[in-house]
């Protein structure tokens, strides 16, 4: 069933390419639009039939290259199924918008349909090599979309996009090979790797594999500092290509983190994580699917934990011992308060405008995580830090109780402060250690 969903666009593309050159452009546009609409209806029906059940559905598993541990294994669950529906929605919107396209319609429609096959293939793949094949083919298809229908600097933008993402995919392949070699018996199957936990007890190997996966997926997400290809690609791509790039292709990097990196690698690194994140990682490894509804709560908890430490540092509480090159007059205390405490409180107030209950859970997790950090480092008096956490919790709850749904301008201000805060978190954490 999923095989039909994935390869139907490619089949229609081949049919369109086989039509005579004298075929009117309206035939290509109509076939493209009808195919996209039928695929959307098909994925919506799959979602409705699947409901909210656990585990993978509509699985197909066929031996492909058994000597290399490679198979054709596809399936969807609560994480990948909504992404397939999103993909079909965006491609239908692009098909409708592209009725105004007048340049090389005979090539444009099949190319976008081929790109849809690669995007759907990424989200339904349950084998690392199959995932990698679709992942790389999406890069090739998007390269031709940008280069063929882009604006003035389309060739430069397409080449930059291709080089960045293709080199990133090579790092991703190294990570896949590391997982394959660590597994016994060797396999590229995602479900088998998740159950086997091949890197357990080998944190160094897990760290190297995670580094390779992180680089490859960070380029596609993209994450700083691997993001410099994105502005040029967006501005030079055609409207349909830019929409697909933002709405689908950029989701592949984050999806890879949730589908591959966290369930298969992070189990070996879980003992090194702070308690709030450790709980999320253990839940991820146990289920094989990332607990997406709780991810941002864990991120907020971590931010509040570091903010509590900065609060204790900057509000006259117990002082962290800084190394000699960073004396008190360097201004780090004021920077910690301005760049960490206040923006994190602003982010907390923004969260409270939508769900006050999450703040209660986040504050509790922050208190637990911060005290655990204090005990582990031994750099802050636990009694003083407990008071700092209590003061921070009181401030957060006051902010939550007074919160209103923010206007657009306020939302931008809060988001800008949150970005500044999380940029400073890593710097502050390194300095205080």
Whether residue 152 is contained in a domain is answered as yes
Cα angle for residues 207, 208, 211 (degrees, 5° grid): 85
Q: For 84, left (φ over 0), alpha (ψ -120 to 50), or beta?
A: alpha
Q: Phi first, then psi: what are they for 200, rounded to 5°?
A: -60, 135
Q: Mark whether 229 and 300 lie in a shared domain.
A: no
pLDDT value of residue 335: 56
Exposed, middle or buried, 33 (CB in 10 Å: 0-12/13-18/19+)?
A: middle
Q: Which residue has the higher pLDDT, 365 or 44?
A: 44
For the stretch 377-392, pLDDT in tens is 454 444 555 555 555 5
pLDDT value of residue 393: 57
- Strands 57-65 and 70-76 turn out to be antiparallel
Predicted confidence band of residue 397 (pLDDT cuts 50, 70, 90): low
Q: Mark whether 181 and 268 lie in a shared domain.
A: yes
Whether residue 30 is contained in a domain is answered as yes
DSSP string, 169-211: HHHHHHHHHHHHHHSSS---BHHHHHHH-TTTT-HHHHHHHHH
Instruction: Please give the Cα distance from 197 to 230 (Å, whole number).
Output: 34
Q: Give percent helix, percent strand, percent coil of the chain, each to the nearest 5.
A: 75, 5, 20
Check whether 372 has a pLDDT greater than 60: no
pLDDT value of residue 416: 47
Domain boundary among 252, 279, 306: 279
Domain span at 113: 2-279
Predicted confidence band of residue 433 (pLDDT cuts 50, 70, 90): very low
> Using an 8 Å Cβ cutoff, are 148 and 104 in contact?
yes
Which of 251-260, 290-299, 410-419 is least confident?
Answer: 290-299
Predicted confidence band of residue 48 (pLDDT cuts 50, 70, 90): confident
> Cα dist. 383→23, 296, 312 in Å?
79, 28, 11
Three-class SS of residue 76?
strand
* DSSP label at residue 238: -
> Cα dist. 412→17, 216, 347, 354, 407 in Å?
46, 30, 11, 16, 9
pLDDT value of residue 412: 44
Q: Mark whether 250 and 300 lie in a shared domain.
A: no
Q: Mark whether 273 and 399 lie in a shared domain.
A: no
Check whether 2 has a pLDDT greater than 60: yes
Mean pLDDT value of segment 140-145? 94
pLDDT value of residue 336: 52
Q: Mark whether 328 and 275 lie in a shared domain.
A: no
Check whether 158 has a pLDDT greater than 70: yes
* DSSP label at residue 127: B
> Using an 8 Å Cβ cutoff, are 103 and 73 in contact?
no
Q: Mark whether 154 and 197 lie in a shared domain.
A: yes
Check whether 300 has a pLDDT greater than 70: no
Residue 388 CA, chain-centre distance (Å), reads 33
pLDDT value of residue 128: 95
Number of structural domains the chain divides into? 2
Q: Mark whether 165 and 258 lie in a shared domain.
A: yes
CB-based contacts of 431, cutoff 8 Å, min separation 6: 322, 326, 332
Predicted confidence band of residue 309 (pLDDT cuts 50, 70, 90): very low
Name which of 378, 228, 371, 236 is nearest 304 in CA terms.
Answer: 371
Q: Mark whether 83 and 29 lie in a shared domain.
A: yes
User: In the numeric block, which tokens belong to residue 320?
Assistant: 């962290």
Radius of gyration of the chain (CA): 24
User: In the numeric block, which tokens belong to residue 318?
Assistant: 């117990």
Q: Mark whether 269 and 304 lie in a shared domain.
A: no
Three-class SS of residue 275?
helix
pLDDT value of residue 233: 92
pTM: 0.64
User: In the numeric block, which tokens belong to residue 98?
Assistant: 């592209």
Whether residue 31 is contained in a domain is answered as yes
Q: Mark whether 166 and 309 lie in a shared domain.
A: no
Domain boundary among 253, 279, 305: 279
Residue % of the chain over a pLDDT of 90: 38
Half-sphere exposure of 135 (CA within 13 A, CB side): 30
Instruction: Please give the Cα distance from 191 to 280 (Å, whole number).
Output: 19
Please name the helix (run of DSSP H) or strand (run of DSSP E) that holds residue 61, with its range, or none: strand 57-65
Check whether 36 has a pLDDT greater than 90: yes
Q: Mark whether 266 and 326 lie in a shared domain.
A: no
- Range from 97-111, 272-286, 326-340, 358-372 that averages highest in pLDDT: 97-111
Domain boundary among 237, 255, 279: 279
Instruction: Please give the Cα distance from 230 to 189 (Å, whole number).
Output: 31
User: In the numeric block, which tokens belong to residue 159?
Assistant: 């080449």
> Using an 8 Å Cβ cutoff, are 169 and 139 in contact?
yes
Q: Mark whether 68 and 176 lie in a shared domain.
A: yes
Mean pLDDT value of segment 232-239? 90
Whether residue 93 is contained in a domain is answered as yes
Check whether 286 has a pLDDT greater than 70: no
Whether residue 284 is contained in a domain is answered as no
Q: Specify the residue for token string 């996009």.
A: 161
Please name the helix (run of DSSP H) or strand (run of DSSP E) that holds residue 60, with its range, or none: strand 57-65
Which of 158-167, 278-287, 315-324, 413-422 is least confident?
Answer: 315-324
Return the biggest CA–CA distance within the chain.
81
Whether residue 287 is contained in a domain is answered as no
Whether residue 47 is contained in a domain is answered as yes
Sign of CA dihedral 157, 159, 160, 166: positive
Predicted confidence band of residue 138 (pLDDT cuts 50, 70, 90): very high
Check whether 314 has a pLDDT greater than 50: no
Predicted confidence band of residue 313 (pLDDT cuts 50, 70, 90): very low
Instruction: Please give the Cα distance from 335 to 322 (Å, whole number).
Output: 14
Whether residue 285 is contained in a domain is answered as no
Name which of 102, 57, 95, 49 is nearest 75 in CA terms.
Answer: 57
Instruction: Please give the Cα distance from 241 to 95 (Å, whole number).
Output: 11
Predicted confidence band of residue 262 (pLDDT cuts 50, 70, 90): confident
pLDDT value of residue 409: 46
């Amino acid at each position: 069933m999923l095989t039909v969903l994935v390869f139907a666009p490619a089949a229609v593309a081949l049919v369109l390419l086989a039509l005579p050159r004298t075929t009117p452009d309206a035939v290509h546009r109509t076939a493209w639009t009808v195919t996209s609409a039928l695929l959307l209806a098909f994925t919506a029906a799959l979602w409705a039939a699947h409901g909210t059940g656990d585990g993978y559905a509509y699985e197909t598993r066929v031996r492909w290259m058994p000597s290399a541990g490679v198979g054709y294994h596809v399936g969807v669950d609560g994480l990948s199924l909504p992404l397939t529906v999103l993909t079909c929605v965006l491609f239908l919107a692009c098909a409708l918008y592209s009725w105004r396209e007048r340049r090389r319609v005979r090539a444009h429609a099949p190319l976008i349909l081929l790109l849809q096959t690669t995007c759907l293939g990424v989200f339904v793949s349950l084998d690392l090599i199959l995932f990698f094949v679709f992942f790389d083919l999406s890069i090739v298809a998007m390269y031709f979309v940008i280069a063929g229908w882009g604006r003035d600097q389309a060739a430069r933008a397409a080449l930059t996009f291709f080089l960045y993402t293709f080199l990133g995919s090579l790092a991703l392949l190294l990570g896949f090979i590391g997982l394959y070699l660590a597994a016994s018996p060797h396999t590229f199957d995602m479900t088998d790797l998740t159950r086997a936990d091949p890197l357990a007890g080998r944190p160094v190997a897990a760290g190297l594999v995670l580094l390779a996966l992180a680089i490859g997926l960070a380029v596609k997400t993209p994450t700083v500092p691997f993001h410099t290809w994105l502005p040029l690609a967006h501005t030079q791509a055609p409207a349909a290509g830019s929409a697909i790039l933002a709405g689908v292709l950029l989701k592949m990097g984050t999806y890879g983190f949730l589908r591959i990196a966290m369930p298969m690698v992070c189990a070996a690194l879980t003992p090194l994580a702070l308690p709030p994140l450790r709980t999320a990682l253990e839940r991820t490894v146990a289920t094989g699917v990332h607990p997406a509804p709780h991810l941002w709560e864990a991120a907020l908890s971590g931010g509040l934990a570091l903010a509590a430490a900065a609060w204790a540092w900057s509000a006259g509480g117990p002082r962290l011992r800084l190394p000699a090159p960073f004396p008190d007059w360097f201004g780090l205390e004021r920077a910690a308060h301005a760049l960490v405490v206040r923006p994190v409180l602003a982010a907390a107030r923004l969260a409270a405008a939508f769900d006050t209950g999450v703040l209660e859970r986040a504050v509790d997790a922050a208190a637990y995580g911060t005290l655990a950090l204090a005990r582990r480092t031994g750099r802050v008096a636990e009694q003083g830090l407990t008071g700092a956490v209590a003061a921070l919790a009181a401030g957060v709850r006051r902010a939550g109780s007074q919160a209103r749904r923010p206007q657009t301008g306020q939302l931008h201000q809060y988001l800008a402060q949150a970005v500044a805060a999380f940029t400073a978190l890593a710097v502050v954490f390194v300095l205080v250690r």
